[in-house]
Amino acid sequence: MTLAADERVAHVGLARRLLIRPELGAVVGLVVVFVFFASQSPVFRSLDGIANWLDPAATLGIMAVAVALLMIGGEFDLSAGVLTGTSGLILVTLATRYGLSVWLAMLVGLVVALAIGFANGLVVTRTKLPSFIVTLGTFLMLQGVNLGVTKAITGTVQVSGLRRASGFEAANAILAGTIQIGGTSFRVAILWWILVTAVATWVLMRSKAGNWIFAVGGNEQAARAVGVAAARTKIALFMTTAFAAWLVGSILALRYTSVQANIGIGQEFIYIIAAVIGGCLLTGGYGSAIGAAIGAVIFGMADKGIVFLGWNADWFKFFLGAMLLLATLANRLVRRYAEEVKH
- Tell me which of 14-18, 40-44, 312-316, 324-328 is least confident: 14-18
Q: How does pLDDT run across 35-61, given as a tens digit for each residue?
A: 989 999 899 999 999 999 999 999 999
The DSSP call for residue 135 is H
Q: Is the pLDDT of residue 228 over 60?
A: yes
Which of the pair, 24 or 272, is modelled with greater confidence?
A: 272
pLDDT confidence bin for 340, thresholds 50/70/90: low
Most confident of the following: 118-127, 271-280, 333-342:
118-127
Helices 208-218 and 189-206 cross at an angle (nearest 10°) of 80
Dist CA 87 CA 83 (whole Å): 6
pLDDT computed for residue 319 by the predictor: 79
Dist CA 286 CA 208 (whole Å): 16
pLDDT computed for residue 249 by the predictor: 97
Quote helix, strand, coil % in the chain, to nearest 5: 75, 5, 20
Work out the mean pLDDT of the chain and round it to a whole number: 88
Mean pLDDT, residues 290-298 taken together: 93
Question: Do the Cβ atoms of 48 and 69 come closer than 8 Å?
Answer: no
Dist CA 178 CA 255 (whole Å): 10
pTM: predicted TM-score of the whole model, two decimal places:
0.90
